[in-house]
Amino acid sequence: MKKTTRIKTTWASLSVAENGEAIVCVKGNDSLRCLRFESLEQLGRALSQRALVVRKWAVAAPRDLCIVKSLSLPAADLAEAARMIEFEVPSLVPLPAEEVIYGCTVAGRQGNLLDVLVYIVKADVLERYLGVYKVVGIEPQRIIPDIVATYAWFKTVCSGPSERSIFVLAGQEQCHILTSEESNFQSGQRMHLNGDPAASAFEIAREILHQGRQIGACPENRIMVVLTGRQDLISPVEARLRSQMDDAGALDVTITAGPEVRHHRWGDGTEDGGGYESYEDVAAAGLLQLSVGAKQPHANLVPRGYLARERQRALLVNGLRVGILSLLLVFLAWACLEAGNRRLEKTCAVLSEQIAPIQKVAGGVDRKRQHLRVIQRQLSNRGRIAETIAELYETTPPAISISGLDVTWKQGAMSIDIKGQADLLPTAFEYTQAVRDACLLQTMQIINAQQIPRAGGGSVVEFKAQCSVGPAVPLGAWDDSAGVKP
Amino acid sequence: MRIGRQTFLAVTTVLLIVAVALFTLIIEPQLQERKARLARMRELQSKLARLQADLLVQNRVDRMYEQIEPLIAGTGTDQQQMSVFTRELTDLYSTLNVKTRSVKLLPTVKEEFYRLLSVKIEMQGHIQDILQFILLVEAHASALRIEQFGLKAREITDEVYASFLVTKVVAESGA
């Protein structure tokens, strides 16, 4: 791998070998990739240089760290069992419940009882263990016992129908043997190998047969054995198992390569290629599969308080992000409005600049126009009252006498209210006929007429009439083109 | 992490208050300012259009204004102008055989560029004198106008009571 390559991923798993090598497993495009670092410090440098950017870490807890206990609980599922375990912990280990952290996996079911494997670790021990990771800036979201992670890796290989299985991983110095019943993890064994492959193969085969006898309740039950790891070891093991088939009962031996894991040695640019699986590689690969798929949530050994703090921190960070974004949004809205206002101000300034010179020249026009209008109004209909009274005098029949006149202007037209007297009622109404031929007087309307008796006998008719006068004669001196209207 | 109902309500309330405060303190003043500036811009645009139109008819208006300028001239205070106005009216009816019953000065109406003076006169006299007064007012050199005219005859004689509301226009003070 070249130094310049940058890996960015959501999940990464980490397993540390006994020799101090750190194996990081990340998901590649087509397969899992295991990156081998010489030490945690080298991994820390890669992280600080952001050559490796990981959002969430999963860490394998070594089996030496955990106490594994088997427990039968009257629980419907593992979640319920996990809640019950809190009360069972003091009976499992001589420690108060608050000083231990536990995880659990299903081992089987017997009627109403759920068999679970409980992985218990002391809180301070785990804290010390996590300390080395914290130094390099790793705060894991998941801590899973390595045997659970290894079992998960084997489960991807063996998805057959067999109820009982033995998984064997032969490494350079150690061999790991895991057993499973009804697809549930049962136990994990670790064997230290000596240098002689033949002797080691003999030992491994013997242990497999022993484990087979342990989990095989009846001779007719077939047990699937999955062998993987060093070819120079697993081939003799397979041969020995086949030669002892009669003694072992019904062993179904399978040799599998398992899922491909690509190995890279960080820093020197070499690539080991696929095929060979060390225990740490397998644990890291299984751990990544569990973490990405969010499987075995109850096997997580991360302290509850730590998780709560993490969630609180995430909530706070998200809240802060939302707050900052909201403030940014408000600022942007303010900035947009401010920019709009400034543009408007600029437009106003430009308009004012345009107005100033014109106003100097044409500023008095409006005033003059107003004066013209009002003078025009004052001078319109001049002589109208005198002419109207003269016409009224001429057109009024002799039998009618006028006792009162009220001349008003309504919307530029003259209106006259007339009070008068007539000898007879028809005479009063004949008045309207009399003004019909007049020039100025137009329609006359009797609005009230009543006959009133006189003191000396006889009677007189008093009436009220309303008369409209024709439209005013335009002066002609002003015209509309100057904006002056009557 | 489960968020309790009370916490949720409290956070929602606080967020609402903050949102309202931000809107009131930051956004709304800008919106108000924008509204005011838009109104000012439209006002300036219409003023510019009006002035440009005025510029086109300026010569015509000036020519017409020269004719009426003496009619509206007057730079004194309201009191001074009212004094001139009443003197003009007195000059008109003093030559006639009429008796003034009352002369009432009405409040001056102030427009943007001119003032409208109003006087209400009640008088008694021969119908011919009253008509003569009307003719004199309507033919006066100043821009006088009879807004209202009332005539009453109580007996069958030519002696009548008349009331007039006469107005006069003068330029605004200081013009």
pLDDT value for A482: 44
A481 interaction partners in chain B (CB closer than 8 Å): 57, 60
pLDDT value for B11: 87
Q: For residue A486, is pLDDT > 50?
A: no
Which residues 449-468 of A are in CB contact (within 8 Å) with B?
Answer: none
A401 interaction partners in chain B (CB closer than 8 Å): 156
pLDDT in tens, B66-116: 888 888 877 788 888 898 899 999 998 888 888 999 999 999 888 888 889
Query: Which of A191-205, A225-239, B57-71, B99-113 is predicted most confidently?
Result: B99-113
Residue of B nearest to A307 (CA): B1
Residue of B nearest to A331 (CA): B26
pLDDT value for A263: 61
Torsion of CA A256, A262, A265, A270, to 10 degrees: 110
- Edge-to-edge strand ranges of the sheet holding A67-73: A67-73, A113-122, A100-110
| Residue A403 CB-density burial (10 A; 0-12 exposed, 13-18 middle, 19+ buried) | middle
Q: For residue A30, is pLDDT > 80?
A: no
Between CA A208 and CA A225 the distance in angstroms is: 8
pLDDT value for B107: 92
Q: Is the ipTM of this complex over 0.90?
A: no
Inter-chain Cβ pairs, chain A and chain B, closer than 8 A: 165
Query: Which of A83-92, A165-174, B29-38 is predicted most confidently?
Result: B29-38
In this prediction, residues A117-128 reach a mean pLDDT of 91
pLDDT value for A417: 92
Interface contact A345, partner B, CB < 8 A: yes
A407 vs B30, B41, B148: nearest CB = B148
Interface contact B17, partner A, CB < 8 A: no
* Residue whose tokens read 């397979």: A238
Residues 6+ apart with CB under 8 A from A278: A17, A23, A171, A172
Q: Do A483 and B65 touch (CB under 8 A)?
A: no
Structural domain spans, chain B: 1-71, 78-171
pLDDT value for A114: 92
A177: phi then psi, degrees, rounded to nearest 5? -125, 120
Cα A390 to its chain centre, rounded Å, is 91
pLDDT value for A306: 74
Crossing angle of helices B127-138/B78-94, nearest 10°?
140
pLDDT value for A215: 76
Q: For residue A340, is pLDDT > 90?
A: yes
Averaged confidence pLDDT in chain B? 88
pLDDT value for A116: 93
pLDDT value for B49: 92
Task: List the beta strands (DSSP E) in A202-288.
Answer: 223-229, 251-255, 261-265, 271-273
Token duo for residue A181: 């019943």
pLDDT in tens, B98-109: 899 999 999 988
pLDDT in tens, A354-389: 999 888 877 788 888 888 888 888 888 888 888 888
A308 interaction partners in chain B (CB closer than 8 Å): 1
pLDDT value for A479: 44
Judge whether A146 and A154 are in contact, CB under 8 Å: no
Q: For residue A146, is pLDDT > 80?
A: yes
Distance, in angstroms, between A73 CA and closest chain B CA?
Answer: 27
Judge whether B79 and B150 are in contact, CB under 8 Å: no
Judge whether A329 and A149 are in contact, CB under 8 Å: no
Instruction: Give residue B143's pLDDT band: very low, low, confident or very high (50, 70, 90).
Output: confident
Helix (H, G, I), strand (E, B) or coil at A163: coil
Which residues 380-439 of A are in CB contact (within 8 Å) with B?
Answer: 382-386, 389, 401-409
Q: Do A378 and B144 touch (CB under 8 A)?
A: yes
Task: List the beta strands (DSSP E) in B32-158.
Answer: 98-110, 114-126, 144-152
Residue of B nearest to A327 (CA): B22
Q: Which of B149, B166, B172, B173 to mutate to test the interface with A (most CBs of A within 10 A)?
A: B149
Q: Do B134 and A385 touch (CB under 8 A)?
A: yes
State the alpha helices, DSSP H only, in A413-486: 425-434
Judge whether B55 and A361 are in contact, CB under 8 Å: yes
pLDDT value for A349: 95
B62 interaction partners in chain A (CB closer than 8 Å): 368
pLDDT in tens, A98-112: 889 999 999 888 888
Between CA B96 and CA A2 the distance in angstroms is: 124
DSSP H/E element including A276: none
pLDDT value for A156: 77
B146 interaction partners in chain A (CB closer than 8 Å): 385, 407
Q: Do A337 and B138 touch (CB under 8 A)?
A: no
User: For residue B24, what is the DSSP state?
Assistant: I
B53: phi then psi, degrees, rounded to nearest 5? -65, -40
Interface contact A315, partner B, CB < 8 A: yes
B78-171 in CATH: which number?
3.30.70.60
User: How much of chain B exceeds pLDDT 90, in percent?
Assistant: 37
Distance, in angstroms, between A21 CA and closest chain B CA?
Answer: 36
A273: phi then psi, degrees, rounded to nearest 5? 85, 180
Interface contact B171, partner A, CB < 8 A: yes
Interface contact A217, partner B, CB < 8 A: no
Q: For residue B175, is pLDDT > 60?
A: no
Which residues 84-143 of B are in CB contact (within 8 Å) with A?
Answer: 111-114, 116, 131, 134-135, 138-139, 143
Check residues B152 and B75 and name the one with the higher pLDDT: B152
B153 interaction partners in chain A (CB closer than 8 Å): 402-404
